[in-house]
Structure formats: C-alpha cells, structure tokens
C-alpha cells in the first residue's frame, strides 16, 4: 500500500496536506477525541473550554487551561511527520492544528483553519491581536485598546473560521491533484468538508491515521498507522 501511495504522490503535480491533531500527537501534544492518546475532549467539556459561552461564563478557567496547553506545546518539538511535510517545498499545508510545529519544522505555505495558540486577540471587535510567549503564557487580561478581554486566537465551537484561511484552503483543496489527509477524525465541520471538496474536484485522497475515520470512504488509499512512521516513508 505504501508503494501504491508513493506512486500516486509521484504522479501528482499539486499536493496538499490536510492535517489534524494526530499529526502532532507523537510530539507529545494530545488529540481531542482519541481516547488512546489522552484526547482532551475525553477528559474536558469542550463547551466549557472551547466555546464563546464557556469563555463568557468563566474566562479565567479558559485562559488557565490554554496556558497549560501553551506550555506543553512550547516543550514539544516537530516529529518526523512534520519534518517530512516541511521538506516538500512544493506542498501547501492546510491544518486544523493550532500549534506551531509545522512552522518550527520549516514548512512553507501553512493555512491554519482553527487559528493559532501562539497569539491572543481581543474578544470584542477592536481587532487587536498579539503574539504571546508559549513558555510564559499570559494570565487573563484586558485588551490594551478597548475594555474587552483578550483570549486565545483560536476558533471555538460555533465560531466562523478565519475568512482568508477558509477561502485559501477551499482554493487549494479544489485545485490539487492529491490530498494527503493526516491524523484527523474528520468530524469537525466545515474543515472536514475539504476532503469531499477535493474528491469532487477530482483529487486522489490518501489518508494516514491510526484507525478508520469518518472520511475513510473517500480515500483511494488508507494507511493505518502512526503519522511519524508513515509520512516520512511516503514523502522521503
């Protein structure tokens, strides 16, 4: 199967990766739904920690939880899958991940659909945002430009995706010859819809995941196993 997947990759001119938390789990960053790897939503209520309602009810709890995750991401380093992806300068990387491991691996074109945990932004409408230090994440604080609070610059449930990132991702996925889907359960929309979009536009689909997912039926080739082991074999 690896050989067949490599042949598909070699014959594709435009390759896009579409990744989820399974890409970063071997770097020590937990997934959301995978019980086997300590998925965050198997232990925490996403509506308390990753929704506008949760932030309105207890903003300090949310910011403290993100501080814990920010420190864990600071300690993490890119794994062989990030490095293999980064080595392909011709690829576009659409990711649902909010970590910066693809950036630190040196990947070129990265589209982050669910924002970035490396920045805070105003929870109101003033538009203020700033990069934060992952090693020393800030506590709950007031926006320097308006009376609202700052919050992590990530996309919570019920929120729209960043418009530019979403449009760029749609464009990349509808124009690619091959979509390499890595480590996502493919249950969160609209992001998961990009796989069907690429398929409808005629792209081949290769999925790398430790188990079958909601997107398995869309795959030309599904490779079951760890991204850190399979992706370097595909792209090396």
Q: Using the minimum distance from each CB to ligand BJW, give the nearer residue, 132 or 208.
A: 208
Q: Using the minimum distance from each CB to ligand BJW, give the nearer residue, 14 or 216.
A: 216
Q: Assess 183 for contact with ligand BJW (CB under 6 A).
A: yes
In degrees, to the nearest 5, what angle opens at C-alpha 56 toward C-alphas 55 and 61? 45
Q: How far is CA 179 from the centre of its chain?
A: 15
Rg (CA), the chain: 18
Q: How far is the CB of 30 from ligand BJW (least distance, A)?
A: 8
Q: Using the minimum distance from each CB to ligand BJW, give the nearer residue, 69 or 88.
A: 69
Question: Is 167 one of the catalytic residues?
Answer: no
Q: Assess 166 for contact with ligand BJW (CB under 6 A).
A: no
Q: Assess 96 for contact with ligand BJW (CB under 6 A).
A: yes
In whole angstroms, give the CA distance from residue 187 to residue 32.
11
Q: Is 200 exposed, middle or buried (0-12, 13-18, 19+ CB in 10 A)?
A: exposed
Instruction: Give the CA diameter of the chain.
Output: 57
| Residues acting as catalytic residues | 114
Q: Which residues bind ligand BJW (CB under 6 A)?
A: 20-22, 25-26, 31-34, 37, 39, 50, 96, 98, 114, 154-160, 183-185, 187-190, 208-211, 213, 226-227
């Amino acid at each position: 199967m690896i050989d067949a997947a490599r042949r598909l990759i070699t014959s594709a001119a435009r390759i896009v990766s579409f990744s989820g938390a399974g890409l970063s789990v071997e770097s020590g960053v937990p997934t959301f739904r995978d019980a086997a790897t300590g998925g965050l939503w198997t232990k925490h209520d996403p509506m308390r920690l990753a929704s506008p309602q949760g932030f309105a009810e207890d903003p300090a709890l949310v910011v403290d939880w993100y501080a814990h995750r920010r420190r864990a991401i600071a300690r993490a380093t890119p794994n062989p899958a990030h490095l293999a992806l980064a080595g392909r300068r011709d690829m576009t990387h659409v990711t649902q991940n909010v970590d910066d491991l693809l950036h630190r691996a040196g990947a070129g074109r990265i589209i982050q659909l669910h924002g970035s945990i490396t920045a805070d932004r105003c929870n109101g409408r003033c538009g203020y945002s700033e990069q934060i230090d992952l090693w020393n994440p800030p506590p709950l604080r007031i926006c320097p430009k308006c009376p609202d609070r700052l919050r992590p610059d990530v996309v919570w449930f019920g929120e729209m995706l960043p418009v530019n990132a979403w449009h760029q991702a749609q464009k990349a996925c509808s124009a690619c010859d091959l979509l390499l889907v890595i480590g996502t359960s493919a249950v969160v929309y609209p992001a998961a819809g990009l796989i069907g979009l690429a398929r409808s536009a005629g792209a081949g689909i290769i999925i790398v995941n430790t188990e079958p997912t909601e997107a398995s039926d869309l795959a030309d080739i599904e490779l079951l196993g760890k991204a850190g082991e399979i992706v370097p074999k595909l792209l090396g």
